[in-house]
Each structure stands twice: as C-alpha cells, then as structure tokens.
Structure 1
C-alpha cells in the first residue's frame, strides 16, 4: 500500500516536471524566433520603394516655337500647326493654323483665314479702339505685363497688351468668320474644315497665350 502511494507521488512529480519543461521549451522557442521575425519586418520596412513617376501636365512642352529677335519675343504653337508671317506696312501679322488647309480660299486674297492671329503695331490708338468696341473686358497678365482680354462682335477673343518698353502693341486674336469671308464655291464650315471644335480652339488660344515671352 505504501509502495503504491510512493509510486503515485513519483508519477505526479514527473507530470509536474514535464509540464514545467514544456512551458520552458515553448518560452525559449518563442524567444529564439522573435528576433528573426523582427529582422524580417525591419528588412521589409527598409526595402527602398521606387519613386513615383510624375507625368508632365504641360501640353505645350513639345510645341514648336516662333522667335522674333527683331521685336524681342517668342511664342509657341501646336505640333501639326503652321504659321505665316505678313508685314503690311508697319504692323507684323502672324497667322497660326492647322496644316491641312489646302483648299480653303478666302474671298480677299490678302486675308488669311486663320483661327488665331497675332498682330504687332505701334498705333497708340489701338487699345482705345478695342475699348470702344468691347462687349466685355477682363484684366490679367501676359509674361508679367498688364493685359486686357476683350469680347468683341467679330472676334471670339482679343487679348491686347504693350511690350515692356511700352512702344509696341500686341493683339492676340481669334476672329469669327462666316461664308462671306470665303471665295464663291470654296466655302466650307470653318471649324469643320480645320477639324477644330470651339472648345479646342479656345483651349489652344489660351495655351498659345500662356507661352508668350518677351526677351
């Protein structure tokens, strides 16, 4: 009887020792794995990430540039467009238009049916004439120079400003044309011919204006 009691005590002690041993083993196993897990986390967090690619939103970056060293300015115009330069006495006229305009014939051979024009002149009355004909006027800046944007009867927009010396007047304009501006038999709907919508024309006008620089 006493032998059985002694064996029971031994089995109980062995069980307690086994439980304690298991707990200690689990503790050390967990402790040995913790640094490895932290190292992995640190390795993941320290992995360099590629820099985000920022695409340029400046649609005029690759446009062509017209430069006039005599007057001292430059301006950009779209890829796929052309310009013609005409001097009529003192003023300089620049006409910007899409390339595909082979059979667009004006009634007046001296008139260019271009959606955007730039006129440079030294007429001191130029701004006064615009002011008298205006329907609306907006003040803003062109290359740091004070300018006015006019809404006129025969134009979508006219932007007028002086150069930095104040001796020349610049007018960037977008004329309106009707069928009477075209030679008989050659009339086509103006914007359909150029394949340019009113919204696109306005956007290009504002973009050209934004690229104007004096030097």
Structure 2
C-alpha cells in the first residue's frame, strides 16, 4: 500500500514539474527578440560611415548621404534619400547620443503610447524598439540602446532600405 502511495505521489510531482516547466517556457517565449541580421549581398556595394569619436559605424546605399550635426547634448547622423522623389516620407535615419539615462529615456518613450514595443539587438547590444504610426499610415520606429549608463536613440521610418541599414550598425569601441 505504501509503495502504491509513493508511486502516485511521484506521478503527481512529475505532472506538477511538467506543468510548471511548460508554463515557464511559454512565458519566456512570449517576449519576442528581434535580431537584425546583415544581408551581405544586399549591402555589398554600400558605403561605410565610420565615426571614431562616438565609436560606431554603419553602411548606407548609393544615392544616400550622411550629414553630421553637433547640437547641444546630442549628436545626429542623418542618412537621407533623394528628397525630390514623389514620396515625401523618404527613408531617413537619425542617431542621437543622449545625456539622459537609458531607463529615463525608456520611461519617456513608453509614455508616448507606442503601438508596439519589441526587444531588438542592434550592434550586438540588447535594445528596445518602439513602433508608432502616423495619421497617414506611415510607420516610424525609435530604438533605444544602452551605452555607458546613457542612451542612444535611433529614429527612422520603418521598412524599405532601413532594415538592412540597421543590420550593418555596429559599435567599434
């Protein structure tokens, strides 16, 4: 009789462990982690922009330009397409080195009520992506990257050439 009770208790313990393990696995798999991968064939003929002072680089396609601006407490790099194109919402990319802490910048972004928040990897650093839509239906993204207790914000329109451009972004120091 005792042997049978031990078997029943053992089976119950195994069932509880299996249910608990399944629950933990499902909880963990609900957090999407997007890792932007570089497609070498698509970016093979692209130019490389390197900024040694701030320690980053990325590639950008022919026909685009990069402009450096220093203003107050942030640094901006813009990669912009031909503004004479019919679509006024041409792709762009801005990189801002912010003096605020990473957590403070995340808090501000969350207060803007984004449509979607994703975990993303940029330059081998776990970051947050916030997606917003305009009234015209265009999608914009804000990516917040932690760096030395501060934050880097990458802003861009979503899609098109920008996904492969972001896949080439990396820190060099």
Q: For residues 38-187 of structure 1, what are the structure 2 equivalents within 5 Å?
A: 58-98=41-81, 100-101=82-83, 115-124=92-101, 125-133=104-112, 134-153=114-133, 156-163=140-147, 166-174=148-156
Relative distance call for 1:142 and 1:114 in structure 2 (3 A) is closer
Q: Mark the runs of 5 or more structure 2 residues left unpaired by the alignment.
A: 1-38
Contact 2:91 2:161 in 1 (8 A): no
| Count of residues paired in the alignment | 125
Q: TM-score, normalised by structure 2?
A: 0.62
Relative distance call for 1:72 and 1:57 in structure 2 (3 A) is closer
Deviations 1:128-165 (A, max 9, x none): 211221221011211221111111255611111123xx
Contact 2:143 2:153 in 1 (8 A): yes
Deviations 1:169-213 (A, max 9, x none): 2222125xxxxxxxxxxxxxxxxxxxxxxxxx6131111110011
Q: Distance in 2 between matches of 1:174 and 1:144?
A: 19
Note the aligned Cα RMSD (angstroms): 2.7
Q: Distance in 1 between matches of 2:47 and 2:155?
A: 19
Which of 146, 164, 167 is the aligned partner of 1:207? 164
Contact 2:91 2:160 in 1 (8 A): no
Q: Between the two structures, name the one with larger relative contact order (CA 8 Å, sep ≥ 6).
A: 2
Runs of 4+ in 1 over 4 A off after TM superposition: none
Q: TM-score, normalised by structure 1?
A: 0.51
Q: Mark the runs of 5 or more structure 1 residues left unpaired by the alignment.
A: 1-55, 104-112, 176-200
Aligned-pair distance for 1:114? 6.4
Contact 1:95 1:114 in 2 (8 A): no
Moved more, 149-158 or 134-143: 149-158
